[in-house]
């Protein structure tokens, strides 16, 4: 779960790219970066519907457990498919809200010398850990996103 996320969208309504950087739950040095694609459909003069897909990777910044200032110590992907309804308040500001379908894929073997793995969602309707060396864990859950666009 990302509590705060700053995204830059570039392109046209029918297809735009998304670059983002966010703060997930956990340690203050734990961050996520990623990208994705989206499309926007006009429902009325002021209402829009967006479909967006994003992928984020965990990034550690200034963590004492790592010898590097920036560190990616394992596969830890946070994937999201969003269905957002928006209201254009004026030409420069919009408010969006809608459901999200989320999938987390993370290597969770503590013997690999990786930083502690924590579950990303507060709940999930699917969770499975593969019996491989990395102990790849997959979780799925439904969430909610609210955003302000400038």
Angle at 25 between CA 65 and CA 85, to 5 degrees: 145
Euclidean distance between CA atoms 117 and 76, whole angstroms: 9
Residue 73 confidence (pLDDT) above 60: yes
Residue 114 confidence (pLDDT) above 80: no
Confidence bin at 101 (pLDDT 50/70/90): very high
* Residue partners of 28: CB distance under 8 A and separation at least 6: none
- Report the DSSP pairing between strands 76-88 and 47-61: antiparallel
Between these two residues, 45 and 110, which has the higher pLDDT value? 45
Provide mean pLDDT across the span 43-65. Answer: 93
């Amino acid at each position: 779960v990302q509590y705060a996320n700053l995204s830059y969208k570039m392109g046209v309504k029918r297809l735009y790219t998304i670059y983002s950087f966010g703060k997930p739950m956990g340690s203050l040095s734990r961050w996520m970066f990623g990208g994705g694609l989206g499309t926007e459909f006009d429902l009325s003069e002021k209402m829009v519907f967006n479909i967006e897909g994003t992928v984020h990777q965990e990034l550690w910044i200034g963590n004492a457990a790592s010898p590097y200032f920036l560190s990616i110590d394992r596969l830890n992907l946070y994937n999201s498919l969003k269905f957002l309804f928006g209201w254009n308040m004026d030409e420069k500001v919009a408010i969006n809200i809608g459901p999200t379908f989320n999938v987390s894929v993370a290597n969770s073997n503590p013997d690999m010398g990786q930083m502690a793995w924590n579950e990303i969602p507060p709940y999930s309707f699917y969770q499975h850990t593969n019996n491989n060396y990395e102990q790849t864990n997959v979780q799925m859950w439904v969430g909610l996103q609210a955003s302000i666009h400038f």
